[in-house]
Structure 1
Amino acid sequence: MAALLFCVLVSSILTEPASCTTRHYTFNIVQKNVTRLCKTKSIITVNGKFPGPRLIAREGDQVLVKVVNNVTNNITLHWHGIRQLRSGWSDGPAYVTQCPIQTGQNYTYNFTITGQRGTLFWHAHISWLRSTLHGPIIILPKKNETYPFRKPYKEVPIIFGEWWNADPEAVISEALQTGGGPNVSDAYTINGRPGPSYNCSSKDTFKLKVKPGKTYLLRLINAAMNDELFFGIANHTLTIVEADAVYVKPFSTSVVVITPGQTTNVLLKTKSHHPNATFIMAAQPYSTGQGTFDNSTVTAFLEYEGKNPSNKNAIFTPTLPQFNATSFVANFTKKFRSLNNPKYTIANVPQKVDKQFFFTVGLGTTPCNQNSTCAGPNGTKFAASVNNVSFALPATALLQAHFSKKSNGIYTTDFPTNPQNPFNYTGTPPNNTLVSNGTRLVSLPFNTSVELVLQDTSILGAESHPLHLHGFNFFIVGEGFGNYDPTNDPLNFNLVDPVERNTVGVPSGGWVAIRFLTDNPGVWFMHCHFDVHTSWGLRMAWIVLDGPLPSQQLPPPPFDLPKC
């Protein structure tokens, strides 16, 4: 611990940190008054910043983050996409790997970044606190190693978020009480700013100043709570080079699709001259569900340095797809391929499968309390489920119960490996929309190769679901529309260079197949990254047992692990 090095993050444009192998951060959770859309409200922040501070490290570095809770809410932080190899105690989801950090308490997250480089992000992982508690994780290559592309002139994080004039905690609390859908956000944000397309917000706009003839690396992060997004920059092409901290085969596009929980690095090559123009950067939602959503557009400005201010300044706007452009999204996602380059990253997709799982994901209902009527379908409450199980979080952390071998009354390991009552998943919905409730997990031996098919259902309307798996990256070996065909669809799986991610959008009215290896002991959450669906129960967890070697076993919990 004496060798801890404090890395200071101060620049608005990414600057390279000092060389260090252990990076030490202190995240103070504090209230901060912030004004957006001409309304001032107190929000929960890290170190008074919204979005929060950048965590910058190199591949191979150890990272220690001391989190001090100075607010009345219980807090946990999740380091989204970090593999957490044998460091599950630092993963962060409340009541899965830890009890929350209570008021006046602190906890030090301790993990090492192994085999990852690119962009990830950190965020709160309890209730809806991540609406304001989030920030970038920037993983630089090891010292003296290079990118698999020309080094950019500058690197700029671009974080998409959602803003509520109300308290988001009150929004989800009311929705869970009434059983109906929560109020949608009042605006989207780019780097915390709504931009001029919203009332009373023209001065609250992110501006990216660029020089002609330069290459910029934009680190895109979708931290929005409940919306997938289209993003584009007027009259500029973007080249995608990395997804979820894994290099991909580069491809160019004018529009990026990014789901909540996903990160995407893109190269922006600026024009060779000084155009007397402002180019709008815009993001707007992709949505296929039947519920309401914030159908608005957030904008920011890209402007060239050194242009003649006396000349007329033209404004160009990007053309983005319609909000329900499912075919565009499908064509876009199929372009992603692992770089599969021995120098940078190899697509070690499991060629054989030890365990196969088929999980349905979607919405359903639960009964309302006796003698009362709820705001969900036909007087019920909205619920969400995996294989018709709406996951109930326990009162103590699952990882602690697993490690201490005291699971009785906390969880069972009988999560269904297939739907208990098969039906036409994308056809006419069944009459019975009720889901079951429970804390049921899947337990797997160490080093098991898993194939998991995630199937969307149309019970309350087909819609896409961004599924995030903690503790692992996975390979997306196949996807399609309609019901998954276990005989014919695997014939078209890509087992050579499939993209490797930690968050995947299950197609609306379709399916996606992923493979991963259980090489990380612990308890690992998997859930929809639409927070409303997670709140309704679209979540489950995997137990990965210890392997035979000491290096394959989960160490004991740290001394300062929070108590429930």
Structure 2
Amino acid sequence: MFFRLNMKLFMFFLAWAFALLASSLASAATVEQIFKVQNRTIKRLCNERVIVTVNGLFPGPTINVHEGDTVIVHVFNEAPYNITIHWHGVFQLFSGWADGPEYVTQCPISSGNNYTYKFKVQNQEGTLWWHAHASVLRATVHGAFIIHPRSGQFPFPKPYKQIPIILGDWYNAGVEDMEKALAAGGRPELSSSFTINGLPGDIFSCSQKGQNSETFKMKVKQGKTYMLRMVNAVLELHLFVTLANHNFTVVAVDATYTDPYVTDVIVIAPGQTLDALFTANQPIGSYYMVASPYKSGGKMFDNITSRGIVVYDHQYAQYSSSHLVMPSLPSLNPMMPFLPPFNDTPTAHKFYSNITSLVGAPHWVPVPLEVDEHMFITVGLNLQRCDPATVTNDTCKGPMNHTLSPSMNNESFVLPKGRGYSMLEAFFENMSGVYTTDFPSKPPVMFDFTNPDIRFDLNLIFAPKSTKVKKLKFNSTVEIVFQNTAFIHTDNHAMHLHGFNFHVLAQGFGNFDPTSDEAKFNLVNPQIRNTIGVPVGGWAVIRFQANNPGVWFVHCHVEHHTHRGFNMAFEVENGPTLSTSLTPPPADLPKC
């Protein structure tokens, strides 16, 4: 008996040792890729257009890694535009030189030149993505970045298959046209279609039939469970995602595990990622998966949908105890799901606010309880004053013949182009003249932020241009109240923090009230994200630990907002030791 028990113990430790060895080997792997950024002619919606791609693909290649891997990506810029690549949601712990936003962590890679991104993926698993972080190039330069568990195990039953779903959009305008529209100070070019994995779907007559069908199709086996690894790569809008007659179970957001959340509609903001399970448990047939817009404010937006088709494979029969049940053939007319109205804020808020983190899951971290820095940051669409003598030129086509100047705490950010160095280089070299460290911790004036009567209040709406950052002590804990404002029109702003995840403590509508709203903070299992939708006419509170030295961009992930200044940055000081400090820049770091 003793021998048998010891043999069991021995076998257990042997299995554990093999698992540990396998994990160790996986963590030591190096994943190396070549990205050739190049123009390619692509046909969509009956039109050919030259777009910028990576390796000729739209969307670009999916990168698969395991937690602990080292990633090396050699980027060769063969396109006629400056480019950088951002690894959205990857911590870049002590490797800020690889983060990617132009003029923030690096100068752009100019046409004909190259740069190698090298970083280690640590303490993360799930779905993230990569995209261009220069000009408007992320419209076509993007792809999934999937971090697989080192152990091979999920905190839920392993799905039958895992499928990347890249939600994007298609613009008939080219890069120069889109840049010109943005420079004019008004609304940018509207996209012609949303896309699912690069395809617009069959609602357009040009994309419906035959070998040239531009519709994403996913074949499934009845009874099997699939994991959709979703990315919202759309330039401007939040999306509703629905699948006719099926529910989703959300199991992760922004590469952090969640308590399983069952829903018939997913809401995903620009820049966010999400892992959702669904089981093919309906009668054999075909079902539309639809991406439709959520737009809470403003008059002009891309009121279009894209749809793919989930097809049950009729070759697979069902077995009933003792006999074969022959299935019917899939319907030629896929079933449509119910689509929420485009301005369905209650549905969006219910989804965004009901997600909670899975306590004890791999890489889960508790909420830090002691706060060192409290910040109150207003976010919204301000204006930059145009000289009345020049209102007819191409830079004053915003509201009231001024230029849109989105801001945070009434500071509208300007990238330090033409100053010779990126902000991270200036940080590393302790160099002045590139940026200042006086970003305010609260707005200059307190007012009724969400009152619609302030929409065009000329005493409040103008925001000056600056390149300001907030300086943080290493390892300090920061709490931010993002307060939406009603300037011009209300909107749900997707705020993305580079270099860190954060806990979402609470979200609500109206003006944040510290007396009553702090009582709503979830300090036990709040969702953990890198991108948060700040509710329309409302607020969101986040908390994070500044344990990663460098300069880290914070911005709205709506493209024309960030393009016009809806940004700021944190300068996080080095830690007390060499191992907690930013490493020197790589030899091939691009020069300005």
TM-score category of the 2 structures, normalised to the smaller one: over 0.9
Question: Could you tell me which residue of structure 2 aligns to residue 261 of structure 1?
Answer: 271
2:103 and 2:416 in contact (8 A); partners too: yes
Question: Could you tell me which residue of structure 2 aligns to residue 195 of structure 1?
Answer: 201
Of the three residues 401, 406, 412, the one matched with 1:384 is 406
Partner SS state of residue 390, structure 2 = coil
Question: Could you tell me which residue of structure 2 aligns to residue 351 of structure 1?
Answer: 369
Question: Could you tell me which residue of structure 2 aligns to residue 170 of structure 1?
Answer: 177
1:127 and 1:169 in contact (8 A); partners too: no
Using the TM superposition, give the Cα deviation of residue 138 of structure 1 relative to its aligned residue in structure 2, in angstroms.
Answer: 0.7
Using the TM superposition, give the Cα deviation of residue 431 of structure 1 relative to its aligned residue in structure 2, in angstroms.
Answer: 3.2
- Using the size of structure 2 for normalisation, the TM-score is 0.89
Of the three residues 520, 539, 546, the one matched with 1:511 is 539
Whole-Å Cα distance in 2 between the matches of residues 128 and 554 of structure 1?
29
Using the TM superposition, give the Cα deviation of residue 386 of structure 1 relative to its aligned residue in structure 2, in angstroms.
Answer: 0.4
Query: Which consecutive segments of 4 or more residues in structure 1 shift more than 6 A?
Result: 308-311
Listed as ranges, the matches of 1:401-416 within 5 Å are 401-407=426-432, 409-416=433-440
Whole-Å Cα distance in 1 between the matches of residues 268 and 541 of structure 2?
19
Using the TM superposition, give the Cα deviation of residue 169 of structure 1 relative to its aligned residue in structure 2, in angstroms.
Answer: 3.9
Question: Could you tell me which residue of structure 2 aligns to residue 558 of structure 1?
Answer: 586
Question: Could you tell me which residue of structure 2 aligns to residue 454 of structure 1?
Answer: 482
Question: Could you tell me which residue of structure 2 aligns to residue 235 of structure 1?
Answer: 245
Structure richer in helix, relative to its length: 2
Listed as ranges, the matches of 1:270-349 within 5 Å are 270-271=280-281, 275=284, 277-306=285-314, 313-341=332-360, 343-349=361-367
Matching of residue 431 in structure 1 with residue 458 in structure 2 = yes
Residue 57 of structure 2 aligns with an amino acid whose one-letter code is: K
1:160 and 1:224 in contact (8 A); partners too: yes
| Larger Rg over CA atoms | 2
Q: For residues 12-64 of structure 1, what are the alpha-carbon distances to aligned partners after superposition, in whole Å with 9 as ceiling and x for unaligned? A: xxxxxx96611101101111110001000111100000000011100000000
Residue 286 of structure 2 aligns with an amino acid whose one-letter code is: T
The 1:234–1:301 alpha-carbon spacing in structure 2 relative to 1, beyond 3 Å, is: same
Partner SS state of residue 23, structure 1 = strand
Listed as ranges, the matches of 1:541-552 within 5 Å are 541-552=569-580
Whole-Å Cα distance in 1 between the matches of residues 176 and 234 of structure 2?
15
The 1:332–1:447 alpha-carbon spacing in structure 2 relative to 1, beyond 3 Å, is: same
Using the TM superposition, give the Cα deviation of residue 368 of structure 1 relative to its aligned residue in structure 2, in angstroms.
Answer: 1.9
Whole-Å Cα distance in 2 between the matches of residues 488 and 291 of structure 1?
33
Matching of residue 371 in structure 1 with residue 389 in structure 2 = yes
Whole-Å Cα distance in 2 between the matches of residues 455 and 512 of structure 1?
7
Whole-Å Cα distance in 1 between the matches of residues 505 and 204 of structure 2?
40
- Using the size of structure 1 for normalisation, the TM-score is 0.94
Listed as ranges, the matches of 1:52-91 within 5 Å are 52-91=60-99
Using the TM superposition, give the Cα deviation of residue 197 of structure 1 relative to its aligned residue in structure 2, in angstroms.
Answer: 1.1
Q: For residues 87-132 of structure 1, what are the alpha-carbon distances to aligned partners after superposition, in whole Å with 9 as ceiling and x for unaligned? A: 0000000000000011111111011111100100000001110000
Extract unaligned runs of 5+ from structure 2: 1-24, 316-326
Partner SS state of residue 48, structure 2 = strand
Of the three residues 478, 481, 506, the one matched with 2:506 is 478
Whole-Å Cα distance in 2 between the matches of residues 169 and 505 of structure 1?
29
Partner SS state of residue 315, structure 1 = coil
The 1:311–1:319 alpha-carbon spacing in structure 2 relative to 1, beyond 3 Å, is: closer
Using the TM superposition, give the Cα deviation of residue 459 of structure 1 relative to its aligned residue in structure 2, in angstroms.
Answer: 1.2
Using the TM superposition, give the Cα deviation of residue 445 of structure 1 relative to its aligned residue in structure 2, in angstroms.
Answer: 0.8
1:244 and 1:501 in contact (8 A); partners too: yes
Using the TM superposition, give the Cα deviation of residue 175 of structure 1 relative to its aligned residue in structure 2, in angstroms.
Answer: 2.8
Residue 463 of structure 1 aligns with an amino acid whose one-letter code is: D
2:505 and 2:543 in contact (8 A); partners too: yes
The 1:400–1:291 alpha-carbon spacing in structure 2 relative to 1, beyond 3 Å, is: farther
Whole-Å Cα distance in 1 between the matches of residues 44 and 333 of structure 2?
27
Whole-Å Cα distance in 2 between the matches of residues 372 and 334 of structure 1?
45
Using the TM superposition, give the Cα deviation of residue 272 of structure 1 relative to its aligned residue in structure 2, in angstroms.
Answer: 6.5
Question: Could you tell me which residue of structure 2 aligns to residue 123 of structure 1?
Answer: 131
Extract unaligned runs of 5+ from structure 1: 1-17
1:391 and 1:540 in contact (8 A); partners too: yes
Whole-Å Cα distance in 1 between the matches of residues 331 and 405 of structure 2?
54
2:241 and 2:292 in contact (8 A); partners too: yes
1:339 and 1:345 in contact (8 A); partners too: no
Count of residues in correspondence between the two structures = 541
Q: For residues 383-418 of structure 1, what are the alpha-carbon distances to aligned partners after superposition, in whole Å with 9 as ceiling and x for unaligned? A: 1000011000002310001111112x2111000110
- Percentage of pairs with the same residue: 46
Q: For residues 295-343 of structure 1, what are the alpha-carbon distances to aligned partners after superposition, in whole Å with 9 as ceiling and x for unaligned? A: 01101100011267867544211112111111111111121111011x5
Of the three residues 24, 41, 53, the one matched with 1:33 is 41
Whole-Å Cα distance in 2 between the matches of residues 119 and 214 of structure 1?
21
The 1:377–1:312 alpha-carbon spacing in structure 2 relative to 1, beyond 3 Å, is: closer
Moved more, 518-527 or 18-27: 18-27
Listed as ranges, the matches of 1:211-226 within 5 Å are 211-226=221-236
2:256 and 2:364 in contact (8 A); partners too: no
Whole-Å Cα distance in 2 between the matches of residues 84 and 248 of structure 1?
23
Whole-Å Cα distance in 2 between the matches of residues 145 and 217 of structure 1?
15
Moved more, 48-57 or 315-324: 315-324
